[in-house]
Amino acid sequence: MAKRPVRAVTGAHYGLRDWLAQRVTAAVMAIYALMLTGVLLVSPPQDYASFKTLFDNQWMRIASFLFLLSLFWHAWVGMRNILMDYVHAAGIRLTLEILVILSLLSYAIWSVEILWIGEG
């Protein structure tokens, strides 16, 4: 009996990475949400000046930026999964995926502007 060549069953190889990214980014966002809730409960900003002071803190900016980047990455994995499940026409799915990627990249640039550049 002739031996068949052994063929390894593999996927596209982004499965595990995305699965892990989905969970790590979720944990980052959950920690930030808890911290922000705590800050807002302990000292709720009373006016524009105190709200602005809260975000003048460099650590607050970095934490918020990490939260937002995690959010965008998390949203990409989630939206791609949803599109893969419900949109079966490859052309439409690709178009929607590109729209999601472009919007998330623009949000990332917008976040930098909001947190570090936007002054008045």
Partner 1 sequence: MPEKRPRYLDLLKIRQPLPAVISILHRISGALLFFPGIPLVLCSLDMALGSSEGYTRIQSFVNNPVAKLGLILALWFFVHHLCAGIRYLGLDLHYGAKLEQARLSSKVVVGAGIVLTLLAGAVIW
Is 46 an interacting residue with respect to partner 1 (CB under 8 A)?
A: no
End-to-end CA distance of the chain: 79
Helix (H, G, I), strand (E, B) or coil at 92: helix
Segment 60 to 119, residues that bind partner 1, using CB under 8 A: 71-72, 75, 78-79, 82, 100, 103, 107, 110-111, 113-114, 118-119
* DSSP per residue, 50-82: HHHHHHHSHHHHHHHHHHHHHHHHHHHHHHHHH
- C-alpha 76: how far from its chain's center? 7
Residue selected from 35, 51, 92, 112 as contacting partner 1 according to rule CB under 8 A: 51
Q: Which is nearer to partner 1, 30 or 92 (CB)?
A: 30
Residues lying near partner 1 in the complex (CB under 8 A) are found at 23, 26-27, 30, 33, 41, 47-49, 51-52, 55, 71-72, 75, 78-79, 82, 100, 103, 107, 110-111, 113-114, 118-120
